[in-house]
Amino acid sequence: MAINMKPLIFVSVLVAAFAAPTAEAQLLSLIGIQGTVPCTTNATGSSTVAIPPFPGAQVQLRCSGVPVATATTNSTGQFTFFLDPLSTNLPRLLGTCNVVVTTPLSTCNITLPAVGGLISNLVPGLPTTVGNVLSITNLVALIFRYVQNV
């Protein structure tokens, strides 16, 4: 007498279907670092005088002195880096990383120094969610200060 395998296969497929985890939409994540580079050596943020932006400046994200990302500012001096949170440690970013402007300040204003550059620490910003698909942890380079050795 031959065994009918159809019911056994059907039950096996049914068990496998119920045992498999249901697919849920997963939120993708990024770390965003942004800021606006000023064309000045004294950008403390307390001035009421409008500070011109530094367009076309080369900007580096440096962690423990090592460049890990680069960007160029746009016409309004703004830049953005996006990093993968799976390969980037957020506490390390806040503790050992800086945004460094490597383009000489004299490029945006001939009266400013041709050596040295601007540097900024990172501070937490507000998180951003794009739809139900993307979550961005934002960090901001808020106040740039002039240093002679970059």
The model's pTM is 0.77
How much is the pLDDT for 132?
84
Answer whether 139's CB lies under 8 Å from 32's CB: yes
Higher pLDDT residue, 133 or 48?
A: 133
Handedness of CA 62, 63, 67, 73 (dihedral sign): negative
Show Cβ contacts of residue 59 under 8 Å, excluding neighbours closer than 6 positions: 37, 70, 71, 72, 73, 79, 99, 100, 101, 102
Instruction: Give residue 149's pLDDT band: very low, low, confident or very high (50, 70, 90).
Output: confident
CA distance linking residue 142 with residue 112, whole number of Å: 21
Instruction: Give residue 43's pLDDT band: very low, low, confident or very high (50, 70, 90).
Output: low
Mean pLDDT of 115-143: 93
Instruction: Give residue 12's pLDDT band: very low, low, confident or very high (50, 70, 90).
Output: very low
CA distances from 128 to 29, 40, 133, 134, 141 (A): 10, 30, 11, 8, 17
Instruction: Give residue 45's pLDDT band: very low, low, confident or very high (50, 70, 90).
Output: low
